[in-house]
Amino acid sequence: MTPPAARQTLPETGQTPGRPPLAADTPDGPTGAKEAAAPNSSNLREALHFALRNKKLVFGLGITVAMLLFAIIGPSLAQHDPLAYGGKLSWAPTGRGGYWLGTTLLGQDVFAQFANGVRLAFIVGALGGGIAAAIGMLVGFTAGYRGGIVDDILGMLTNVVLVIPTFALLLVIAAYLKVRGIITESVFIGFTSWPWAARALRAQTFSLVSREFVGLARLSGESSWKIIFKEIAPNMSSYLFMMFILLFGGSILIAATLDFIGLGPSNTISLGMMMQLSVQNSALQLHLWWWFLPPGLAIMAIVGSLYVMNVGLDEVFNPRLRNM
Amino acid sequence: MSLTVDGLKVYYRTLRGDVHALDGVSFTIADGEIMGLAGESGCGKSTLGNSLIYLSGRMKYIEGRVEIDGEQLPIWDFSAMNEYRLKRVSIIPQYAMSALNPTRKIGKMTAELLRSRGVAYKSVVGELLRRLELVGLSEDVLHRYPIELSGGMKQRAVMVLSTILDPSLLVADEITSALDVSTQKAVMEMLSEFRERGFVKSTIVITHDISILYQVADTIMVMYAGQPAEKAAANVIIESPRHPYSRLLISSLPEVGVRYDEKRLVGIPGTPPGLLTPPVGCRFSDRCPVAFEKCVEQPPFVEVEPGHFVACWKES
Amino acid sequence: MLKLDNVSKVYKVGAFGAQELVAVRDLSFQVSAGEVVSLIGESGSGKSTIGKMILQLSPITRGTITFDGTDVSRLKGRALKDYYRRAQGVFQDPFSSYNPIFKADRIFKMIKDAYFSGVSRHEWESKLEASMDAVSLDASQVLHKYPHQLSGGQLQRLLIARALLLDIQFLVADEIISMLDASTRIDVLNLLADLKDRGLGILFITHDLSLGNYISERTVILRHGVIVEMGATAKVFGNPQHPYTQMLLASVPQLHRKWAEIEADLLATPTETDGQRRPISHVDTIAAVELDALDSALVEFESDHFVRRSGALAREAAGATTETAT
C-alpha cells in the first residue's frame, strides 16, 4: 500500500576530501567552477526555463490545477445535495432536472457526489499528505542529524509503523468510532504512511550532515534545530517538494482504496465510496457507466497527473536528467 | 611507438556556449618516454588525456590530428576507437579506484572488461597473476570486492588491469592524488617498472604535483588555460624553466628543507582566464611579470633548444 | 595555550555499538600562542579527528583538553559559544564549507547574528573590511557572490577572515590547502605565517611534509592514532629517529633530489630501533618494527625532540633520566 518510492535525485555537489584540486577541465564542470545544484537565483531562472519547456511538468500541472479548480467550484455548481434521494432512479446523464451526470440506482445526483468527491480527494491529499510529511520530516531529520542511539530508536519506530497492518488497524478503529469523517480518515492515513518518507529524508540528511558547512554552522554557534531548518532542509528543498507531492497523491490513492472496501468516512460520499456503492449495486452489470466511470477516471487523473508532474520536476531539478 | 599530436582542439558543450578546454595542442612522445602533463585546474590536462582515449558526452572534437605509430587515431569516432582502447591506448581514469563497481569482485570485473574487448579471460589470466604478484598483490585480490581493499591496493589493481593487454600508450590521470605519500611512491615506481618490463611503451602522467613528475618522468609539459606553455626534459623544467608561468610555478613549491622564514615563497597573483570566451593572444599575459606589447598576439609553441619547447615571445 | 592530555577517541561500531574502534590513543601535546604546530599523518592516522575534538565537533572519549587553563573537553551551550570566540577551524574542502544555496558572505552574517548582534552596521562593516584586508581579499570581488562563482583560494581566505572577525587566539587548519592550486597554496600558507607572527596559535593538520616543514615551528608525527615522534620541526625533519618518520621523509617527492638519492642517504644513517642498530630501507620494515602502543612511551631523545620507543627501551630511558636527575 506504500506509494512508489521517490527516486533519490538529490544532485551531487560535493567532492570528497583527499581529491586533487577541483579540476575544471573534467567532464563534470568545465565552466571554471562547479555547477551548484541547489536553488539560488541564477539556478531558479535556469530551473524556470526548463520547467516551462518540460512537457510532463506542464501537462501534469495543467491537469492537477484543472481538477483543483473543479474541486473548489464544482460542489457549488451542483444542483442537488450529494446525499439527497431526490431524483428518479438510474437516470442516464441527459441533463434532465439538473442531473448532469445522471443519478445512481438510489436516485442520488452523481454530479453532486462527483464534485464533492473531488473536493474530498484534495482534502485527504493535503491533510493526509501534510501530516505524513510533517512526521516524516521530524523523524527523518532527527534520526539523520543525531545519528547514534537516537537514530537506532527512531529506526525501530519507523519499522514498527511500517509493518503495522493498516487494514486491521482501521477495522478496529471503525468498530470503535461509529461516525468517522474525512478528517479522521486523513489523520489516520497521515499517521500510517510517513515511514518511507522518514527513511528517505534520513538518508538525505545523513549525506548533508557530513558536509563541512554544517560543521561551520555549529562553529558559528547555531543551534541544532536552526541548522536543520536553515542549512540542511533548504538544500533538499526540491526533494522535499517532490516528496510532498508523492505523499499527496499517495494519500488520495490510499483513501480511495480504503473507501472502496468500505472503510471510508461514514457521513459523506467520496470518489472511492462512489465506486464501492456502484459495484455493490451491480452498476457494472446494469451498465450504469456514469456512476462508476467518472470517479475512477477522476482518481486516475488526479493521482496520475501528480506523478507525471513529479517526474517532470525531477528532470527540472536534476540537471543530469535533462537532455542537452 | 610514437605519439604525435598536432593542433588538437577539444571543446566542452555547455548551456552558455563552448568552453575552449583544449585549444591547439601539439607535441610528440617518443618510444619508451614517460611524459608528465602538469598544470593547475582548468588547464586542459585531463581533457587532453581523456580525449586521446574516450571522448565523453559533453566533449566535442573540433580539429587536430592524433597519430600513433604513424597511424591516425579516430578519436572523434567512439565506436572506431573501440578497436584501440585497452589494446593500443589505455587509460587509468581519475578516481579510478573509487569507480570500481562495488558489486563485482575484481576478477569478475576483469573478465567482463576483457570480454568486452574480445579477449578471453583464460588467455591472459596467467600473465595477470604474474603482474599482480609483481605489484605486490596476491591472487586472492581477484576474489575480493573493492571495498575489502585499501586505496593503494585498488590503485595497483587498476594499474595492472589497464595494462594487461600491453598497450602502446598509457594515460595515467591523477593516479596518486588520493594516496598516502608512501603509496604514491610505490605507485609511481610501478609506472616506471611497467615501462622497464615492456608492459607499456610510453606513458602520459597527468598530475598537478610537479615534484612527483620530477621523480619519474623523462619530460614534462606544463599547460596553462588549454594551451601548452612549455615542454622539456624533467630536470630542465625544474632547474631552468623558461616560460614565465613555469618559472613562477616552480618557485612557488614548498620543499622539505625550506622554511618560510629563510626563503619566503611567492604565489602567482590572479586567476586563470575563463575558457568560455578565452582572451586573445597569450593567455598568461595578464598575470605575467614580463608581458609586453607583442603578447596580444598568440605566441607559437616553438623549439628554442633541442627538445625544449616554449610558447612565449620573450623566449623565442 | 592549548593543551591535550591523554586524549583518546574510541568509536563504538557494530550493532548497537558492541565493538570498539580506537581512532586516537592517549594523545598529549600543546600549542602555544604565536606558534604553528603541524600535525602530520597519513589517512587513517586520526589527525582530522583530533582537530574535530579540539573544536568540540566530535566528543572526546577520554582525557582532557585545556585552553588557557580552562577545561574545554565537554562544553555545551553558552560556554561552548564563548569558546568558539577564541578557537575556530577551517577545513579541507572550500566548496563543501559553504552552503551552496546562499551567498558566500552569509558566513559573516552568521557570525554577526550570533556574536555581534548589537553592533551597528557601520562598525560591522569596518570590522569586515579589516578582516578582509588581513587576508588580502578585495571586498568588491568577493562579497555578494555565490560560492561557485569564487575560487578555492578566495573561499579559504574568506573562511580565515571569518575566523579573524572573532578575534580568535587559536585556529585549527585541517588540510586547508590540499584542494587548492599550487599557485594559490603558497599565498594561503604565507597568510597563516603572518597570522602566527601576530600571535595566533595554529594547529596545521596535513599529510604533506613539505608544507609542514615550511610553516611550522614544531611537528607532531601521527600514525594510527598514536604520536610516534614530535618536537622542533628542524630536529624532527633534520634528524628523524622513528622508522616511520624516516620512511615518510624518504617517500616525499622532492624537487631536486631523486628518491634513490634520498634512500641512499637514509640507508647510510642507521638508527636505533628495538635495541638493535638496523638500517631503514622500506615500508615493510615498519611493519616489522611495529611498536605496540600499549607497551611503549614517548622518550625524550634530545631537548624538544621525543620519539616513541617500545616498552623495554622506554623503561631503560626512563631509568636513565631518573639516574641523571638524582
- Contacts A37 to C, Cβ<8 Å: 100
* pLDDT higher than 60, residue A122: yes
Closest by CA position to B26, among listed B65, B83, B71: B65
- Strand spans (E) along C50-200: 62-67, 70-71, 87-90, 170-174
CA distance B256 to chain C (A): 4
Residue from A19, A25, A34, A320 whose CB has the most chain B CBs within 10 Å, to mutate: A25
B171 interfaces chain A, CB cutoff of 8 Å:
no
Among C residues 26-55, those touching chain A with beta carbons less than 8 Å apart = 43, 52, 55
Fold classification of A41-87+95-321 (topology level) = MetI-like fold (1.10.3720)
Query: Chains B, C: CB contacts under 8 A, how many?
Result: 113
Which residue on chain C is closest to A22 by alpha carbon?
Answer: C179
The 10s digit of each residue's pLDDT in C81-92 is 889 999 999 998
C131-156 as b/e, with b when 16 or more CB fall inside 10 Å?
Answer: bbebbebeeeebeeebbbebbbbbbb
The answer to whether the CB atoms of C114 and A222 lie below 8 A apart is yes
Q: State the Cα–Cα distance between residues A264 and A258, nearest whole angstrom.
A: 6
* pLDDT higher than 60, residue A324: no
β-sheet with C36-41: strand ranges across: C87-90, C170-174, C201-206, C36-41, C218-223, C226-232, C305-310, C296-302
Which DSSP category does A295 fall into? H
Which DSSP category does B241 fall into? -
Q: Which three cell numbers stand for residue A295?
A: 470517479
Residue-number span of the structural domain to which B35 is assigned:
3-99+167-310
Name subunits touching A (3+ CB pairs < 8 A).
B, C
B127 interfaces chain C, CB cutoff of 8 Å:
no
Q: State the Cα–Cα distance between residues A45 and A35, nearest whole angstrom.
A: 14
The DSSP secondary structure of A223-271, one letter per residue, reads -HHHHIIIIIGGGGHHHHHHHHHHHHHHHHHHHHHHHHTT-S-SSS--H
Q: State the Cα–Cα distance between residues B47 and B247, nearest whole angstrom.
A: 24
The answer to whether the CB atoms of B41 and A31 lie below 8 A apart is no
Name subunits touching B (3+ CB pairs < 8 A).
A, C
**Residue B160 is assigned to a structural domain of this protein:** no
- Contacts C107 to A, Cβ<8 Å: 216, 220
Residue from A26, A43, A46 whose CB has the most chain B CBs within 10 Å, to mutate: A26
**Residue B70 is assigned to a structural domain of this protein:** yes
* pLDDT at position C272: 54
- Contacts C183 to A, Cβ<8 Å: none
* pLDDT at position A1: 36
Cβ partners under 8 Å of residue C281, min gap 6:
C263, C267
Lowest mean pLDDT among A80-84, A113-117, A216-220, A250-254: A80-84
**Residue B72 is assigned to a structural domain of this protein:** yes
C209 interfaces chain B, CB cutoff of 8 Å:
yes
**Residue B241 is assigned to a structural domain of this protein:** yes
Among C residues 220-259, those touching chain B with beta carbons less than 8 Å apart = 233-234, 237, 247-249, 251-256, 258-259
Residues of A with CB under 8 A from a CB of C: 13-15, 17-22, 33-40, 42, 149, 152, 211-213, 215-222, 231, 234-235, 237
Instruction: Give mean pLDDT, residues B38-50.
Output: 88
Cβ partners under 8 Å of residue B119, min gap 6:
B165
* pLDDT at position A304: 92
* pLDDT higher than 70, residue A305: yes
The 10s digit of each residue's pLDDT in C158-182 is 999 999 888 899 999 999 988 888 8
ipTM, two decimals, is: 0.82
β-bridge partners, C112? none
CA distance A212 to chain C (A): 4
Instruction: Give mean pLDDT, residues A199-223.
Output: 90
- Contacts B98 to A, Cβ<8 Å: 16
Q: What is the CATH number of the domain that holds B196?
A: 3.40.50.300
CA distance C318 to chain B (A): 32
β-bridge partners, B19? B12
**Domains of chain A by residue range:** 41-87+95-321
CA distance C114 to chain A (A): 6
Q: Residue ranges of chain C with pLDDT lower than 70?
A: 15-17, 267-295, 311-326
**Residue B128 is assigned to a structural domain of this protein:** no
Residue from A213, A218, A223, A228 whose CB has the most chain C CBs within 10 Å, to mutate: A213
The 10s digit of each residue's pLDDT in B234-254 is 999 999 999 999 999 988 888
Cβ partners under 8 Å of residue C194, min gap 6:
none
Which DSSP category does B235 fall into? H
Q: State the Cα–Cα distance between residues C134 and C125, nearest whole angstrom.
A: 14
Which residue on chain C is closest to B185 by alpha carbon?
Answer: C251
Cβ partners under 8 Å of residue A159, min gap 6:
A195
- Contacts C256 to B, Cβ<8 Å: 214, 238-239, 255
The answer to whether the CB atoms of B14 and A30 lie below 8 A apart is yes
The pLDDT > 90 percentage for chain A reads 29
Residue from B211, B255, B266 whose CB has the most chain C CBs within 10 Å, to mutate: B255
* pLDDT at position C55: 92
Q: State the Cα–Cα distance between residues A118 and A103, nearest whole angstrom.
A: 17
Q: How many CA atoms lie within 13 A of A277 on its CB side?
A: 22
Q: State the Cα–Cα distance between residues A209 and B79, nearest whole angstrom.
A: 43
Integer-rounded Cα Rg, in Å, for chain C is 21
Q: Taking each helix axis from N to C terminus, what angle separates A182-192 and A237-260, rounded to the nearest 10 degrees?
A: 120
Confidence of residue B170 (pLDDT cuts 50, 70, 90): very high
The pLDDT > 90 percentage for chain B reads 42
**Residue B272 is assigned to a structural domain of this protein:** yes
Q: Taking each helix axis from N to C terminus, what angle separates A237-260 and A271-280, rounded to the nearest 10 degrees?
A: 30
Residue from B40, B179, B182, B187 whose CB has the most chain C CBs within 10 Å, to mutate: B182
Q: How far is CA B204 from the centre of its chain?
A: 5
Instruction: Give mean pLDDT, residues B74-94.
Output: 87
Which DSSP category does A25 fall into? T
* pLDDT at position C271: 56
8 A C-beta contact, residue A272 and residue A259: yes
Q: Taking each helix axis from N to C terminus, what angle separates C182-197 and B244-251, rounded to the nearest 10 degrees?
A: 40
Q: State the Cα–Cα distance between residues A11 and A68, nearest whole angstrom.
A: 31
Burial class for A252, CB neighbours closer than 10 Å (0-12, 13-18, 19+): buried
- Contacts B286 to C, Cβ<8 Å: none
Closest by CA position to B151, among listed B189, B108, B98: B98
- Contacts A22 to B, Cβ<8 Å: 41
**How many domains, chain B?**
1
The 10s digit of each residue's pLDDT in A96-114 is 777 778 888 888 888 888 9
Confidence of residue A158 (pLDDT cuts 50, 70, 90): very high
Lowest mean pLDDT among B107-111, B222-226, C74-78: C74-78
C107 interfaces chain A, CB cutoff of 8 Å:
yes
Closest by CA position to C91, among listed A231, A18, A24, A232: A18
* pLDDT higher than 60, residue A4: no
**Residue B316 is assigned to a structural domain of this protein:** no
- Domains for chain C: give ranges and CATH numbers: 2-99+164-233 (3.40.50.300)
CA distance A151 to chain C (A): 11
C155 interfaces chain A, CB cutoff of 8 Å:
no
Instruction: Give mean pLDDT, residues A53-80.
Output: 87
Among C residues 280-299, those touching chain A with beta carbons less than 8 Å apart = none
